[in-house]
Structure 1
Amino acid sequence: MNLGDSFSAGSGVSPVAATQLAKCMQSEQNFSHLIAQQRGFRLADVSCGGAKTGDFYAPQGPGLRPQLDALTPTTELVTLMIGGNNNNTFIGAMGACIGAMIAQPGAQEPCKAQYGNSLTEPIEAQTYPALVKALGDIHDRSPRARVIIAGYPWLVPSSGSCFPQMPIAAGDVPYLRELQAKLNDAVRRAAQETGATFVDMSQVSEGRDGCQTVGQRWIEPMLNATQPVPVHPNADGERALATEMMKAIDAR
């Protein structure tokens, strides 16, 4: 069983899966499909682009069911990525930092100066408890299942300019990186608290962010992306997620 958001769905990676509504932009080559193909698993994948933890409990839109409804007492394995859309963490921060750079051209770190801790505070106050609840409810619905949740691969490097691929000020690159690190740490702690397995993508995705060249990067940039959904994993990124997930599956 695969749950989660656009990173889990592989949104933007061709071809689109016929088993989910087109608006979810779920890929036949997302990590869960790759794992199922390589391991011979029977897969039910209800991941959907734009999903938040709230969509585990209520329909994300017309024609969709709450994602947790797909779980059964006999489910043996659950994979997922979730949390990046809660409080619009990723898209909100990216939009804020692009806007700050446009408003203050030449400023070193206009986004950090304007927003400070306000973009990261909701991660601890709201996203973390939501993750704990979601993972706990997965266990309750499928008590036999191993639950494996991945952190998000790096979107930007630790320092340096990403311009023009990511139109943000150079000083705000580490600011966005810190925000992502806080989110990944919230995912890690929620997994630890609920007995789920956390797949840490931080080390393997170093140097594979959206500021790198075609063939090197696992994340597509905001501008000049090679797929229709920017700032998301490309096919190489989904394969990397599958590889790391399978390592976790094997480490019993």
Structure 2
Amino acid sequence: METQQSSAQPRPNFSGAGYVALGSSYAAGPGLGIPVPRSAPGARRTDANYPHRLASALDLMLTDVTSSGAVTADILYRRQYGQPPQADALTPDTDLVTITVGGNDIGYVMGLVAAGLPPGPARLAGLAGGLQRLGTGGLDRQLVLLEASLTMVGELVRRRAPRARVLFVQYLPVLPPDPVVRVPRMSTRQAASGRRFFTHLAGATARAAAATGATLVPVAAAGADHHAWSDDPWTTAGIRPRPGGPLPFHPNTEGMAAVAAMIGAELTGSGAAP
């Protein structure tokens, strides 16, 4: 009897591949693990973030330059916390790049925090009315600029690391996608504006990926049932950070693990993402 050979293709082997992680706190994972490296405390990146989890799972050689508070300019040309621009970590030998950035360009998390604060503290912090401004022409212009800035990031990565596999990784959602679900400490108008805000952020990331020939990791859709008030949250709901815990409205440990699994599934073709 003739032996039939399997038509299944072997999974890609990434062992030893050079991996550079770029992005903001949604990639850095502040408060989730041990800070790394200790020489850059302001960045607040930890060993429990998705870049470290992905590198461990696929045996990658990780250079993690993600940084809390980073905007696209901090990847492109600007120093942050005394560190060089994140793109300086890229080389022609880089094999893999992940990018999660853009929320700070338009004040995404700050807007959510402001919406949950009482009027007095919000005003004192200079955040009053954060989400109410979402419908203004000024913010609409910011959103247009965000897409252009993300595209510039993708183009620079292509130039600096021409052989690399490049992945734009969206932000995990915080708010419930269903407008009927009540969001504590937010008015209906604020929550609706926050959803619009997040939709624009996710869309700008997707369009920048398409414009630069990068792969999109659709974290925004995958996390819809895991919002901060769900039974299985991937993001935090608290306004005030817990000592040693994640920041408000940021990925938690489960969220970082889920994102790493989604990226791993995309790279290996395993389809084994959450």
TM-score (norm: length of structure 1): 0.86
Q: Which residue of 2 aligns with 1:210?
A: 228
Give 1:122 deviation, angstroms.
3.5
Post-superposition Cα deviations, 1:208-247, rounded to whole Å, max 9, x if no partner, equal 112235xx11101133655241110011000011011112
Q: Do the aligned partners of residues 193 and 20 (structure 1) sit closer, same or farther apart at CA in structure 2, a change above 3 Å counting?
A: farther
Q: 2:249 aligns with which of 220, 231, 238?
A: 231
Q: Which residue of 2 aligns with 1:121?
A: 140
Q: Do the aligned partners of residues 20 and 242 (structure 1) sit closer, same or farther apart at CA in structure 2, a change above 3 Å counting?
A: farther
Q: 2:261 aligns with which of 239, 243, 248?
A: 243
SS in 2 for 1:185: helix
Tell me if 1:61 matches 2:87: no
Give 1:26 deviation, angstroms.
0.4
Give 1:111 deviation, angstroms.
7.2
Q: What is the rounded CA distance, in whole Å, between the counterparts of 2:101 and 2:165 in structure 1?
A: 16
Q: Do the aligned partners of residues 72 and 195 (structure 1) sit closer, same or farther apart at CA in structure 2, a change above 3 Å counting?
A: same
Give 1:19 deviation, angstroms.
6.0
Asked whether the 8 Å contact 2:112–2:130 carries over to 1, the reply is no
Q: Which residue of 2 aligns with 1:221?
A: 237
Q: Which residue of 1 aligns with 2:182?
A: 161
SS in 1 for 2:168: strand
Tell me if 1:139 matches 2:158: yes
Matched to 1:161, the amino acid is R
Q: What is the rounded CA distance, in whole Å, between the counterparts of 2:86 and 2:134 in structure 1?
A: 33
Give 1:178 deviation, angstroms.
1.4
Q: 1:38 aligns with which of 46, 52, 57?
A: 57
RMSD: 2.3
Q: What is the rounded CA distance, in whole Å, between the counterparts of 1:217 and 1:225 in structure 2?
A: 16
TM-score (norm: length of structure 2): 0.80
Give the count of matched residue pairs.
238
Q: What is the rounded CA distance, in whole Å, between the counterparts of 1:10 and 1:50 in structure 2?
A: 11
Q: Which residue of 2 aligns with 1:184?
A: 202
Give 1:118 deviation, angstroms.
4.5
Tell me if 1:175 matches 2:193: yes
**Identical pairs, percent:** 26
Asked whether the 8 Å contact 1:157–1:174 carries over to 2, the reply is no
Q: Do the aligned partners of residues 53 and 175 (structure 1) sit closer, same or farther apart at CA in structure 2, a change above 3 Å counting?
A: same
Post-superposition Cα deviations, 1:77-109, rounded to whole Å, max 9, x if no partner, equal 001201011132331x2245346x748xxxxxx
Unaligned runs of 5+ in 1: 104-109
Give 1:16 deviation, angstroms.
1.8
Asked whether the 8 Å contact 1:87–1:122 carries over to 2, the reply is no
SS in 2 for 1:44: strand
Q: What is the rounded CA distance, in whole Å, between the counterparts of 1:19 and 1:199 in structure 2?
A: 29
Q: Do the aligned partners of residues 24 and 208 (structure 1) sit closer, same or farther apart at CA in structure 2, a change above 3 Å counting?
A: same
